[in-house]
Structure 1
């Protein structure tokens, strides 16, 4: 029979459809009814479960020959001792905690730090990494957030720089310069404003970046913003097994054409953010850069501000262009008017990047006479897939607070 579930507050009742008592309860209740479909027929196409199972029979009775062998060789005693020793070793790793005092462990906060433009605008070819592992008490690998690592690449004109990472997704945004990147999937040429993403297919994926010129920036080289998910894989102790998406390239012209469409839409200037999410044909559900990475190209018009919002993912924000007087306010809580309480101010600088911690409210402000552009990279592809991104907007929260609704 078809099963029916009725939700009444915290109460969940289940019964067989057609039961007189149940029918009476449903008819007199305004509760929602959810019907679950039956399991698919046996003839339905089987689905890969990602697990393997092997079943073998063994005898639970020892033969007389086996018993004699145990007595003569002592194998049975040795096996028992080994088993006992293994159990003792396994038990030595156990820990238990009282629930209410340990259910929400206090971890080291993700600090609000960043990288300076000089790391990609001058000096020799190099990689400058935002390694906050010590501040977050992460041992054994570099990390800018628990799941991501951000770096600036400086490639002098006429030189090459090789990068490698054990990651499922690597994103490169060209801050300035012209050149190409050689990958296991082929070469891709790039210029200022372009962005490309490559998948991981093995323990370590290499890319070699060549700079042709500085694209009239007078820096003597190219600067790239590099973000990948190697900390997540290091934490799990895994390596990529297969690529989850195809190499993808977003030209600056393509991005600007789509930005213009968004800016011309009615009410665009009143939106919480005015930008475009960068998606991939491999991520139609999450609408993200890859299955782990997420990115937004956001413009902040001169003299305007963008109201607070928050999300569970960590943002690694690159200020593509910003004049003095452009900044972000961050804080953990809102007041009844939707303003951030005791905010921290982070000033933008063209070519710099900074961290926005997870679940912190943040608003963007442009008190200058120039447009400002920002490109956050986040691990929100993963959070969106897990249904835990929990993005919230200040206007919505104010309305809920006025109704005395807490969530």
Structure 2
């Protein structure tokens, strides 16, 4: 901690001064990293005594490894990655992890290839027929074996009557490589965060078949994650980081012009390195699907929502564990509520939110209805995991091909 007398923050913050002043933050080249990029570059961290050093990662696996080793202090993370590491199913030893806050909801895309489009596979019924034909299976890419995109893809396929582990092949591709894999014909479709779905449409490499918000309106997506050890050793730093990111999240949504300027910022070579024309429309909720349809999405990518986005709901984390159980990634039911309570840093979040004037809901549980009509409210996670007609509860954990 910098305690020199010429550092005004040392006495302004007093005993609340951050234990660390410089943080290395990991992120992936995705539109939903926006609040971290804005916090780091637009002056939201300095008032809290922090310098945020953004470190773009090549893959979620790389981000995971650096987060666990301490090379990264915190990161723009998949909910499913944090929980997989916590449970010891994330590609390494179990490590106690922490979710500091939610970063965004909505805004992911399931795209299919141009050859499928040209073959008329543009409806759920046509996809169902194609998936159940004899011959080579369709290959779909997601971004991490236990990640959000795997869970959205599996849930959506199952809701259409397609078993995601038996009827199709699932492979892992880092987000920025999705479009190239689609163009090369290595995959028939993908589930990924923006702007890569929009980029594929813009390049006429296929079409957006479904959005993640059509699966679950206002679903949980990325979180600000770190190890629990980091929070325990640096509680003031963690709280200051949450405050800076909360202020950045609020700023992005103050008006449409802020969203546009954020899209321009994200387009830079150090961040997404993609044209603003691919980033801005879906950041504004303006969708074209490549089939001639256009719409203003009522549940597009959002970063704050008056704080609704940022509260790390226990039920959100528990949902991912129910899906791990459903698809055989967990052989037994965990203590869902206990695990979520240990991972989510609710007290720290509530304190940080209160200090920057953001309202916090009284309950850390919420209720949602998903695309198949099922309601998730966190009240009976084990029963929920067993309630699906399509599952892999009796199967061994599926092997997922990594590319």
Q: Common fold, TM-score beyond 0.5?
A: no
Higher strand share: 1
Structure 1 length as normaliser, TM-score? 0.22
Structure 2 length as normaliser, TM-score? 0.22
Higher helix share: 2
Point out the structure with max Rg over C-alpha: 1
| Structure with more contact order per residue of length (Cα contacts < 8 Å, sep ≥ 6) | 2
